[in-house]
């Protein structure tokens, strides 16, 4: 009989990169969030129940009659031309023009992060990311042993002035970062969008310093208000900006279909990396997208999603205003899937999650979005994956435990902070402040 | 051959570890030729147990429900023999405050501490007593929830300004917390099988430089040495203290007692775990291995003890 579960047996065989692990406490807690009785605002899930089953059936039928053998066969590494045409259509909807040879179809957007990092990073090389950054990028950067330097954000996205300071500092230390990773629109997890002036400046910085930028844009089309600033790719013209797109949030994450646009020499290396990783992206999935684009009006579906998510965002913002104490601050996203909440710095959101799980509600603790131990007083909330009743109830429960901890802290410090609920912060002053120091400095003055 | 139900998972915050312990126990039981039913403990536990009607239940759960006597109580009602300690020992050991009071009463050295409920702070103004406590215990002070079995919620307060946030964190896990004197020294664990102590395991932080308190609980930042290399007589002394604690709390079949060896050479008992981890990296299996008892033998022995204890 095998003892294949005994880890000691294999311990000596593991590569050094497998030793990089995030806090085990948080992983243990996240295991409990998957239980059915838990209202989870922790995921990043689109609501796939909104997709019409009839359309799915028509798409499948069409592939069966028209391209059965092709759908079941390998395809070219860079992807099928018919899929690339659909991708060009999606990008055109956001004001970008690409030719089929400018891009590679990938197995989800996540593979783009992996392939770009694999292509550019040797152990110890610097990657610049936003602080907070997409929690799913953290294990990728860690696996390639990148040294991730995070640049703070505010309501207008990455602080490009701080980015320049960081680049200067790195240069003085003789270190040249390989690329800047950013989610400029409706950032995951912060929910903020990079302003147009900052986008322009970021692209200028990339040109001045000859640095690559990876623009991760999964939610650009999920905009609930206002006008879209231009994508970095269109500002740069494809010289230093690489672009990551995906069908996950506008169609389905289950089909695992994304794409990457990059300067030709970089794209060539990425293509080699992809060939090694999985030869090609699922032909079946690619043909499904093609059939879907012919069968139905994809923009109508995105429009219907936008309406559903807008209402959910508004519900969550209202619930936060109703149930969170005045010491809490949060962002007001104009699109995307997430709201980022910053609590007083005496609250550790990993511990708070343990308390919240007793009330069957979950969120992502902020520490997941940092590699440097920050974010411990913040949390990411998802509003796309739960219906409005669940959002209201989930936020009510989290608000209750936060209020409980704020009150308890007040009692412990003798401040007896009055817990009251106030109006939500106005749209223009929801600045991300990481970390907040007010509560502790008040105590220092008082004692 | 008997039918063994392996109880694992559940709602505890240590669900993940429990699933790993459970999977490993299942493998061992299958190798031993037992008929194994794995149960992820949930709202349908009773009906699942009735359907399976096992000869014995192997409780591979940690923390809430599994280790605090809850599941043991249910198994008593169903008349299903189960592994490990009974209800009373689980209740005593899981409640660190109660366990420490019992130790003091029995003359077993344990670090000085003060325990509070949330109500004491909210309604009785216990915060006013904090400065006196801080003076008595001296910084750094360890702040921990009374009932949490793993490292979750354990904070290290370096100064008075750290204490309120550390308490808030600890109260996330339990309505009772304790402030404990920090013992600067070596971390030891004595596992016990059928009343007999196994070789001592020492947890040693990896790498040089500053050793932070939280590091000892992170994978890859701690190495385990077994048997621990200790000064003359200390091994026997640690084992004797561990067995006394185990008996005092009424534990049976197996368990693990965690101790500190202070810089002054004094041993103190921190806590007892009625269902220590059984994963690949857990301490009880390592200690058993050092005593020449394989994991399969360990699991087999634990099941035998459960069946022996059960009324015929």
Q: For strands A329-330 and A126-131, give the pairing.
A: unpaired
CA distance B42 to chain A (A): 10
Candidates B293, B257, B236, B273; CA nearest to B17 is B273
B161 and A444 within 8 Å at the Cβ level: the answer is yes
> CB within 8 A of A367, min separation 6: which ones?
A23, A26, A349, A350, A373, A374, A375, A376
- Helix segments in B223-294, DSSP class H: 234-249, 283-290
State whether A98 and A148 are in the same domain. Answer: yes
Angstrom CA distances, B254 to A60, A393, B86, B123, stand at 57, 43, 11, 40
Torsion angle, CA of B184/B186/B190/B191, rounded to 10 degrees? 100
Q: What is the reported pLDDT for B311? A: 65
State whether A257 and A355 are in the same domain. Answer: no
* Domain limit, last residue, from A263, A295, A327: A295
How many whole angstroms separate alpha carbon A367 and alpha carbon A378?
8
State whether B238 and B266 are in the same domain. Answer: yes
Residues from chain B that touch A29, judged by Cβ atoms under 8 A, are 13, 152
- Active site members of B: 14, 150, 217, 256, 258, 271, 273, 277
B151 and A25 within 8 Å at the Cβ level: the answer is yes
Q: Is residue B150 included in any domain, yes or no?
A: yes
Q: Does A414 touch chain B (CB under 8 A)?
A: yes
State whether B166 and B263 are in the same domain. Answer: no
* Domain limit, last residue, from A275, A295, A315: A295
Q: Which residue has the tokens 């669900």?
A: B15
pLDDT at B13 over 70: yes
State whether A317 and A382 are in the same domain. Answer: yes
Q: What is the reported pLDDT for A8? A: 54
> In terms of CA atoms, which chain B residue is nearest residue A416?
B122
Q: What is the reported pLDDT for A359? A: 95
Q: What is the reported pLDDT for A174? A: 94
Nearest beta carbon to residue B13 from set A28, A346, A413: A28
Q: What is the reported pLDDT for A87? A: 98
State whether A89 and A122 are in the same domain. Answer: yes
State whether B31 and B80 are in the same domain. Answer: yes
Q: For strands B35-40 and B3-8, give the pairing.
A: parallel
State whether A178 and A123 are in the same domain. Answer: yes
Q: In what order do the strands lie in the sheet with A378-382?
A: A329-330, A338-342, A378-382, A364-365
A28 and B16 within 8 Å at the Cβ level: the answer is yes
A412 and B15 within 8 Å at the Cβ level: the answer is no
The CA-CA-CA angle for residues A89, A94, A97, to 5°, reads 55
A409 and B171 within 8 Å at the Cβ level: the answer is no
CATH code for position A74 = 3.40.640.10
Candidates B90, B70, B284; CA nearest to B194 is B284
Assess contact for A97 and A91: CB atoms under 8 A: yes
Q: What is the reported pLDDT for B220? A: 56
Single pTM value for the model = 0.87
Q: Is B209 helix (H, G, I), strand (E, B) or coil?
A: coil
Residues from chain A that touch B153, judged by Cβ atoms under 8 A, are 351, 354
State whether A265 and A384 are in the same domain. Answer: no
State whether B27 and B56 are in the same domain. Answer: yes
* Domain limit, last residue, from B69, B84, B99: B84
Residues from chain A that touch B19, judged by Cβ atoms under 8 A, are 31
Range name among A75-89, A225-239, B90-104, B115-129 with the lowest pLDDT average: B115-129
State whether A38 and A165 are in the same domain. Answer: no
Question: Mean pLDDT throughout B55-72?
Answer: 94
Q: Is residue B105 included in any domain, yes or no?
A: no
Q: Does A180 touch chain B (CB under 8 A)?
A: no
Q: Is residue A55 included in any domain, yes or no?
A: no
B24 and A5 within 8 Å at the Cβ level: the answer is yes
A5 and B220 within 8 Å at the Cβ level: the answer is no
Q: Which of A15, A25, A36, A357 should be substituted to probe chain B, the one whose Cβ sees the most B Cβ atoms within 10 Å?
A: A25
State whether A251 and A311 are in the same domain. Answer: no
CA distance B244 to chain A (A): 31
Q: What is the reported pLDDT for B223? A: 80
Q: Is residue A402 included in any domain, yes or no?
A: yes
Q: Is residue A439 included in any domain, yes or no?
A: yes
Assess contact for A219 and A134: CB atoms under 8 A: no
What is the domain count for chain B?
Answer: 3
Q: Which of residues 20-39 of A touch B (CB under 8 A)?
A: 21, 23-25, 27-29, 31-32, 35
Q: What is the reported pLDDT for B27? A: 95
State whether A266 and A306 are in the same domain. Answer: no
State whether B132 and B200 are in the same domain. Answer: no
Q: Which two tokens stand for residue A424?
A: 């939500």
Residues from chain B that touch A25, judged by Cβ atoms under 8 A, are 151-152, 217
Residue A368 backbone phi and psi in degrees, to 5: -65, -20
Please provide the distance, in angstroms rounded to a whole number, between the alpha carbons at the two ends of chain A. 65
Q: Which domain holds residue B241?
A: 184-308
State whether B129 and B194 are in the same domain. Answer: no
State whether B296 and B214 are in the same domain. Answer: yes
CATH code for position A434 = 3.90.1150.10
State whether B237 and B294 are in the same domain. Answer: yes
> CB within 8 A of B19, min separation 6: which ones?
A31, B8, B9, B40
How many whole angstroms separate alpha carbon A405 and alpha carbon B7?
34
Q: Is residue A258 included in any domain, yes or no?
A: yes
pLDDT at B211 over 50: no
CATH code for position B223 = 3.30.470.20
Q: Is residue B20 included in any domain, yes or no?
A: yes
Q: Is residue A65 included in any domain, yes or no?
A: no
CATH code for position B163 = 3.30.1490.20
Residues from chain B that touch A22, judged by Cβ atoms under 8 A, are none
* Domain limit, last residue, from A245, A275, A295: A295
State whether B139 and B212 are in the same domain. Answer: no
Nearest beta carbon to residue A347 from set B24, B152, B168: B168
State whether A40 and A138 are in the same domain. Answer: no
Confidence of residue B265 (pLDDT cuts 50, 70, 90): very high
State whether B165 and B265 are in the same domain. Answer: no
pLDDT digit of tens for each residue in chain A (447 aa)?
334 445 555 667 777 777 665 556 667 777 777 778 899 999 888 999 999 999 999 999 999 999 999 999 999 999 999 999 999 999 999 999 999 999 999 999 999 999 999 999 999 999 999 999 999 998 899 899 999 999 999 999 999 999 999 999 999 999 989 999 999 999 999 999 999 999 999 999 999 999 999 999 999 999 999 999 999 999 998 899 999 999 999 999 999 999 999 999 999 999 999 999 999 999 999 999 999 999 889 999 999 999 999 999 999 999 999 999 999 999 999 999 999 999 999 999 999 999 999 999 999 999 999 988 899 999 999 999 999 999 999 999 999 999 999 999 999 998 764 444 454 444 444 445 444 334 333 333 333
Q: Is residue B102 included in any domain, yes or no?
A: no
State whether B273 and B167 are in the same domain. Answer: no
Residue A20 backbone phi and psi in degrees, to 5: -75, 115
Residues from chain A that touch B168, judged by Cβ atoms under 8 A, are 346-348, 351, 405, 408-409, 412
State whether A99 and A182 are in the same domain. Answer: yes
Q: Is residue B101 included in any domain, yes or no?
A: no
Assess contact for A180 and A214: CB atoms under 8 A: yes
Q: Which domain holds residue A243?
A: 70-295
B161 and A443 within 8 Å at the Cβ level: the answer is yes
Q: Is residue B104 included in any domain, yes or no?
A: no
CA distance A192 to chain B (A): 29
Q: Is residue A64 included in any domain, yes or no?
A: no
* Domain limit, last residue, from B148, B163, B181: B181
**Sequence-separated contacts (24+) of B205-214 with Cβ below 8 Å:** B212/B156, B213/B140, B213/B142, B213/B154, B213/B156, B214/B151, B214/B156
Torsion sign over Cα A206, A211, A216, A217: positive
Q: Does B66 touch chain A (CB under 8 A)?
A: no
Question: Mean pLDDT throughout B173-181?
Answer: 94
Interface contacts A/B by beta carbons within 8 Å: 103
What is the domain count for chain A?
Answer: 2
A351 and B173 within 8 Å at the Cβ level: the answer is yes
> In terms of CA atoms, which chain B residue is nearest residue A9?
B280
CA distance B255 to chain A (A): 21
Q: Is residue B275 included in any domain, yes or no?
A: yes
CATH code for position B55 = 3.40.50.20
Q: Is residue B93 included in any domain, yes or no?
A: no
Q: Which residue has the tokens 């131990």?
A: A373
State whether B9 and B117 are in the same domain. Answer: no
Question: For chain A, what is the largest distance between any 2 Cα atoms, rounded to a whole number of angstroms?
Answer: 78
Assess contact for A219 and A337: CB atoms under 8 A: yes
Q: Is residue A58 included in any domain, yes or no?
A: no
Q: Is residue A9 included in any domain, yes or no?
A: no
CB half-sphere exposure, B66, CA atoms < 13 A: 34
State whether A91 and A151 are in the same domain. Answer: yes
């Amino acid at each position: 009989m095998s003892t294949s579960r005994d880890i000691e047996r294999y311990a000596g065989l593991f590569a050094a990169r497998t030793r990089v692990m995030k806090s085990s406490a948080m992983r243990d807690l996240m295991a409990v969030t998957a239980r059915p009785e838990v209202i989870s605002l922790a995921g990043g899930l689109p609501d796939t129940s909104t997709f019409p089953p009839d359309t799915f059936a028509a798409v499948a039928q069409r592939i069966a009659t028209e391209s059965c053998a092709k759908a079941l066969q390998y395809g070219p590494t860079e992807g099928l031309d018919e899929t690339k045409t659909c991708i060009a259509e999606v990008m055109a909807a956001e004001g970008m023009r690409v030719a089929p040879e400018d891009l590679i179809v990938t197995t989800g957007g996540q593979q783009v992060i992996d392939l770009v990092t694999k292509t550019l990073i040797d152990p110890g090389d610097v990657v610049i990311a936003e602080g907070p950054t997409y929690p799913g990028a953290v294990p990728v950067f860690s696996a390639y042993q990148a040294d991730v330097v995070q640049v703070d954000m505010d309501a207008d996205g990455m602080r490009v002035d701080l980015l320049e300071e960081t680049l200067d500092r790195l240069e003085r230390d003789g270190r040249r970062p390989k690329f800047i990773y950013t989610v400029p629109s409706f950032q995951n997890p912060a929910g903020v969008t990079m302003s147009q002036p900052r986008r322009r400046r970021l692209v200028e910085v990339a040109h001045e310093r000859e640095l690559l930028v990876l623009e991760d844009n999964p939610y650009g089309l999920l905009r609930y208000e206002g006008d879209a600033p231009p994508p970095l790719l269109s500002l740069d013209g494809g010289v230093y900006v690489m672009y990551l797109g995906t069908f996950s949030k506008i169609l389905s994450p289950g089909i695992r279909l994304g794409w990457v646009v990059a300067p030709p020499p970089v794209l060539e290396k990425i293509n080699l990396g992809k060939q090694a990783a999985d030869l090609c992206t699922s032909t079946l999935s690619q043909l499904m997208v093609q059939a879907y684009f012919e069968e139905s009006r994809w923009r109508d579906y995105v429009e219907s999603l936008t309406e559903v998510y807008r209402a959910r965002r508004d519900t969550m913002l209202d619930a936060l205003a109703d149930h969170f104490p005045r010491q809490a601050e949060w962002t007001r996203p104009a699109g995307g899937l997430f709201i980022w909440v910053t609590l007083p710095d005496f609250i550790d959101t990993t511990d708070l999650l343990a308390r919240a799980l007793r009330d069957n509600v979950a969120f992502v603790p902020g520490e997941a979005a940092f590699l440097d131990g920050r974010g411990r007083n913040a949390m990411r909330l998802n509003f796309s994956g739960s219906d409005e009743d669940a959002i209201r109830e989930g936020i009510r429960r989290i608000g209750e435990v936060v209020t409980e901890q704020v009150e308890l802290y007040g009692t412990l410090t003798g401040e007896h902070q009055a817990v009251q609920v106030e109006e939500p912060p106005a749209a223009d002053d929801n600045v991300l402040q990481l970390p907040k120091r007010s509560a502790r400095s008040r105590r220092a003055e008082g004692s | 051959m008997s039918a063994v139900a392996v109880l694992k998972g559940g709602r505890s915050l240590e669900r993940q570890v429990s699933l790993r312990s459970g999977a490993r126990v299942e493998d061992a039981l299958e190798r031993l030729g037992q008929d194994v039913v794995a149960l992820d403990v949930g709202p349908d536990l009773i009906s699942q147990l009735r359907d399976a009607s096992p000869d014995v239940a192997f409780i591979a759960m940690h923390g809430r429900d599994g280790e605090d006597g809850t599941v043991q109580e249910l198994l008593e009602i169903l008349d299903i023999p189960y592994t490990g300690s009974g209800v009373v020992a689980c209740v005593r050991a899981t409640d660190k405050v109660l366990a420490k009071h019992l130790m003091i009463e029995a003359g077993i050295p344990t670090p000085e501490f003060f325990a509070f409920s949330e109500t004491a702070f909210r309604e009785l103004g216990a915060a006013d007593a904090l400065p006196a406590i801080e003076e008595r215990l001296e910084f750094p002070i360890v702040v921990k929830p009374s009932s949490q079995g793993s490292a979750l919620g354990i904070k290290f307060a370096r100064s008075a300004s750290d204490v309120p946030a550390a308490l808030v964190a600890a109260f996330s896990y339990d309505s009772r917390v304790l402030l404990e004197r920090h013992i600067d020294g070596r971390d030891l664990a004595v596992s016990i099988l059928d009343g007999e102590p196994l070789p001592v395991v020492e947890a040693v932080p990896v790498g040089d430089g500053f050793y932070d308190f939280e590091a000892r609980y992170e994978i890859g930042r701690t190495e385990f040495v077994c048997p621990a290399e200790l000064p003359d007589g200390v091994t026997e002394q640690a084992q004797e203290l561990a067995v006394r604690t185990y008996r005092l709390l009424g534990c049976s079949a197996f368990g693990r007692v965690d101790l500190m060896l202070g810089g002054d050479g004094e041993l103190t008992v921190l806590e007892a775990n009625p269902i220590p981890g059984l994963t690949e990296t857990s301490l009880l299996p390592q200690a058993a291995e050092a005593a020449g008892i394989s994991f399969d033998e360990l699991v087999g022995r634990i099941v035998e003890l459960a069946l022996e204890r059960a009324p015929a």
